[in-house]
Structure 1
Amino acid sequence: MIELQRVSKKYDELVVLKNINLDMYPNHVYGLCGKNGSGKTTLINIIIGICTPDEGIVRVFGKDPAKDWKIRQTIGTLQEENIYFPELTATEFLWWVGRLRRLTDAQCEEQMKMLSDTFNLNHKLDNLIGSLSYGMRRKVLLAAAFVAKPKLLLLDEPSNGLDYDATESLCNLLSEHRQMGGTAIIASHNLPFVRKICSDVIVLANGKVTEQLTADKINTLSLSRNTQ
């Protein structure tokens, strides 16, 4: 479903990704681990299609996400610097995302109710997003990532700012997404979270893939120099 062949990217003379080769499949949750500056966020942005590689081929559902905006419509994203509108209420923002993804009014309402209950957002739905705490704002942005039931989720540090209950709710949503045939890619420094939810782990260091671990090996992932 997701294919990267010989993908490289640099900014000026700084090499961020070098010769990345990856295949990612449905019914999987992939953890993307590595130190700050290892290339995790750039890799996610390339898969989303908002960043183009200098070399290599990227295919999401068989198409280049940088050239086909319809592919981006099938991806749910959470980025550390997500675009949101502080002058909108949480309800208005989630409704806007749902309609942008071509949900009907009934589908928007159903998904918003489910996600508001899941992330305990009901008492904040009428608040302006700009007035919310960091943790509450992250919950709204996570709800937005899930609202259209995307086939592919790309989440950058999704557990940041979440309390225990919200983290458990996120794990449950990711498990359900996987069981429904979805694919998720999660960039995270939170190794207990990665161990709990991921079926596979990809470790990046200096822009290269240094390790690929399957489910039976994830418990060996340690707080090493390659992941922290």
Structure 2
Amino acid sequence: MTVGERIKQRRKELGLSADELAEKLNKNRATVYRYESSDIERIPAEVLKPLSEILQVSPEYLMGWSEEEEKNGLDRLVRDIEKDKNIKIEDVLQCSDTIPILNYTENGKMIFNEHLCLSDLHGDFCFKAADNSMSNSQIYAGAIVFIKKTDTIKNKDIVMISLNGKIFIRKYYYYTENQKLILYADNPDFEPMIFIGDEINNIKIIGKAIGCFNNL
């Protein structure tokens, strides 16, 4: 599939007309048609980035450098969580009016397959709590937890972490004197998660919980 064919296919999948795409790109319709027909084979970098954002795919996919259709970096986040890699939240779409929700599918895979229009919370994305481990903080199974990317985590913050390809919501406590990190569930039915020294490197703190909604 050529670059032009990818552009045209993705535009139609999103229900965009050539005129609508042209307007979003600040180009004319003729230029869009030239992209789609491959009359313009070399798309400038200053066009490629906004074009991929409008079409909700990665530039790599659009140019044919990758066969994986990674929409807004969210698929990449899920893949990195599953493989327990160094997760780059900066690759995740920064949301304003629509916030993506991370869910588990029936076969245990993770996918961003819902969106919540609550931009006033300024979350980067949401996570649907899988259990009642944080029920004393009013985070129940099925609650929508708003996660904000931040490098500033302090004791008693409720954080989202990745460990062995799974994600958890826990209360953060770090003890500098003995290099011990304890992640508490505030439901006594769940054991605390304790990491000492180099064991701390086994987890990845994804972000801080800034709010939640129950029974949506």
Higher Cα Rg: structure 1 or 2?
A: 2
Using structure 1 for the length normalisation, give the TM-score: 0.30
Higher relative contact order (CA 8 A, sep 6+): 1
Using structure 2 for the length normalisation, give the TM-score: 0.32
Indicate the structure with greater helix content: 1
